[in-house]
Amino acid sequence: MKNTFGNNVSVTLFGESHGAAIGVVLDGVAPNIPINRDRIDALLSLRRPSGDISTSRKEKDEYVIESGVFEGKTTGTPICILIPNADTKSADYGDMRYNVRPSHADFAADVKYGGAEDYRGGGHQSGRLTAALVAAAGILIPALENKGIYIGTHIKSIAGVEDRHFSDIAADIASIKDKYFAVLDESAEEKMTEKILLAKAEGDSVGGVLSTAIVGLPAGVGEPWFDTLEGVLAHALFSVPAVKGVEFGAGFSLATMKGSEANDAFYMENGEIKTKTNSAGGINGGITNGMPVTFNCVIRPTPTIAKEQETVNIKTRENATLAAKGRHDACIVHRARAVIDAVTAIALADVLATRFGTDWLAQ
């Protein structure tokens, strides 16, 4: 049973969706990093549900930093962040104790934990725990930005409705920094919202794709073979419950290209080595080449839906049907954006500590 990610900078998640609280222990963080609570609050607000397109469960995420911070700065010791759960309605999950939700973790968790798991709201497997990841990243993201490293994620698509691609990446990252619905083309938001509300009215859900870019990473970050930058990032990204696919740079479209099309030609500009294209997504041989690191994540449709579905009763071992009750998102793509940024920051903090030392982020 393991709930920890990272080597030099690590996070350990704890808690359940309907338990007393959720939280995270962030270890390996350098001392003397300033804590900006306004920034943590702002990042949590981007993950929090809002309006008709999100669940009606309203958690304020009033976190408490229990340790590792003194007089507004990190001490270098483990940071424990606790987020109480305040708006739970556990009775909604009575019918789903044994009639397991299709494509959710209910059945798999029951097998793994021998029936001892907290099943309410998905328990420890719930997306609710991603709030703790975002809170932890609220410490790391400003530290990365202080080193000139910026992360930005926009909604590439929802239910087939497309946003425009990144163009001027640094400017685009700045433009979506505080957007709740992070699209680059304002006209896409209305069309995407319509798709979400239609699915909600039908008792269904929709998914989409998130596109992320990182600027300012120096060349030479990442290890060959088993700790490639793609490998470490993918490990973190696939920890987000809704992520079912990750591609870097041109990704799967590379399969249709010739080498002459896929290769990124090098050139000199103002004494710096750059590439004319970025099909590799800023990574060669598992190591950064100084260009923006880019990747896409597929976010699956929310598996808990009101439509009646076929399932089984894991207690009686009989076929059953289930129309899920409770408060659930018809789409989580727009909220998952903040989580993707968070796990990206956590992974970067770890690999940068490997490359430059554990105190580098505070220098």
Q: What is the pLDDT of residues 75-116, one digit of tens each?
A: 999 999 999 998 666 566 666 789 998 988 888 888 888 888
pTM for this predicted structure: 0.95
* Residue 117 confidence class, pLDDT cut points 50, 70, 90: confident
What is the tens place of the pLDDT at every residue in 35-58?
Answer: 999 999 999 999 988 877 877 667
Report how far apart, in Å, the C-alpha atoms of 48 and of each of 21, 90, 128 are: 16, 19, 10
pLDDT of residue 122: 83
Measured CA to CA, the distance from residue 199 to residue 207 in angstroms comes to 10
pLDDT of residue 94: 64
Mean pLDDT of 232-256: 97
pLDDT of residue 17: 86
Residue 275 CB coordination number (10 Å): 17
Q: Rounded to the nearest 5°, which phi and psi values hold at 39?
A: -70, -40
pLDDT of residue 95: 67
Mean pLDDT of 157-174: 97
Report the percentage of the chain scoring pLDDT > 90: 79
Q: Rounded to the nearest 5°, which phi and psi values hold at 93?
A: -100, 10
pLDDT of residue 13: 97
pLDDT of residue 329: 87
Asked whether 48 and 127 are in contact (CB, 8 A), the reply is: no
Helix residue ranges per DSSP H, the chain: 37-47, 106-112, 130-146, 169-176, 186-201, 229-237, 259-262, 333-356
**Locate tokens 């939700």: which residue?**
101
Q: Rounded to the nearest 5°, which phi and psi values hold at 31?
A: -75, 160
Report the percentage of the chain scoring pLDDT > 70: 96
Mean pLDDT of 241-268: 97
Percent of the chain as helix, strand, coil, to the nearest 5? 35, 25, 40
Report how far apart, in Å, the C-alpha atoms of 62 and of each of 81, 133, 143, 336 are: 10, 14, 22, 19
* Residue 238 confidence class, pLDDT cut points 50, 70, 90: very high
Residue 158 CB coordination number (10 Å): 29
CATH level 3 topology of 4-362: Chorismate synthase, AroC fold (3.60.150)
- Coil, strand or helix at 246: strand
- Name the residue with higher pLDDT: 325 or 257: 257
- Classify 31 in phi/psi space as left (phi over 0), alpha (psi -120 to 50) or beta: beta
